[in-house]
Amino acid sequence: MGVITDNLPGVLEPLPGGSVLVTAVDQLINWSRSNSLWPLTFGTSCCAIEMMMATGAARHDMARFGAEVARPSPRQADLLVIAGTIVKRMAPRLRTLYEQMAEPRYVMATGSCAICGGPFMYHSYTTIRGADEIIPVDVYVPGCPPRPEAFFYGLLTLQKMIREGESIRHPGERRRPVLAALPEGMTLDDIRKEMQDLLSHDANVNMTEAAAEGAHYSAELKDF
């Protein structure tokens, strides 16, 4: 994969219609990356328990988003969910885990402690005030701990970021981190609907739309 993503833009871009092709490849790669986020088995305190219940149990199963394969080895993981307090002794280990993960790698900071130190911000001799002091974070999920819906809202935000923001033209370039706070007035039903829409959208191919898009691409290619 690395060879393809490294060399493909350089080979394709000079060709007639090459940049359209690169965009198409981008879409394919981003789609596959966003739907195969393998999280690292990593948790430091109570948020980790919440995360395990949110991701493993039937009601909020993370498998629906292609993200259920928790990997115990950082070399096979794409997503690092920092769930819980990071203390001074854990910080170098967290950094090592992050550096062992292969690119592209994504980081979600869930819960107050991972965002800013939470209740241990003041008068603490050992709690790191936010995981972003150690490693770059892509999505912040607030809560103490976040509800499962909030966690999934964060995961959906990350998937959106991957789909919209990445290009093999600029490997390693990241989008600015976002705070995936549940918008005010949003209910569980809204999130469930969004999840369902997303899942049905991903699982079904609209042949008419796909044909129209294909026609659009071939029209663009003819211009070159």
List residues near other proteins by CB under 8 A: 88-89, 121-126, 129
Nearer to other proteins (CB atom), residue 85 or residue 157: 85
Please state the closest distance from residue 44 (CB atom) to other proteins, in A: 14
Nearer to other proteins (CB atom), residue 45 or residue 124: 124
Residue 66 zone, left/alpha/beta (φ > 0; ψ -120 to 50; rest): left
Nearer to other proteins (CB atom), residue 131 or residue 195: 131
Could you tell me where the DSSP H helices lie in 109-205? Answer: 112-116, 148-165, 188-203
Rounded to an integer, what distance in angstroms lies between the CA atom of residue 3 and that of residue 212? 32
Please state the closest distance from residue 125 (CB atom) to other proteins, in A: 4
Instruction: Centre a 10 Å sphere on the Cβ of residue 34 and count the other Cβ atoms it contains.
Output: 24
Backbone angles phi, psi at 14, to 5 degrees: -70, -20
Please state the closest distance from residue 72 (CB atom) to other proteins, in A: 24
Please state the closest distance from residue 123 (CB atom) to other proteins, in A: 6
Nearer to other proteins (CB atom), residue 56 or residue 92: 92
List the structure tokens of 186.
């949003």
Q: Note the Cα 91 to chain centre separation in Å.
A: 22
Rounded to an integer, what distance in angstroms lies between the CA atom of residue 28 and that of residue 173? 18
Nearer to other proteins (CB atom), residue 61 or residue 133: 133
List the structure tokens of 141.
């999920």
Please state the closest distance from residue 113 (CB atom) to other proteins, in A: 15
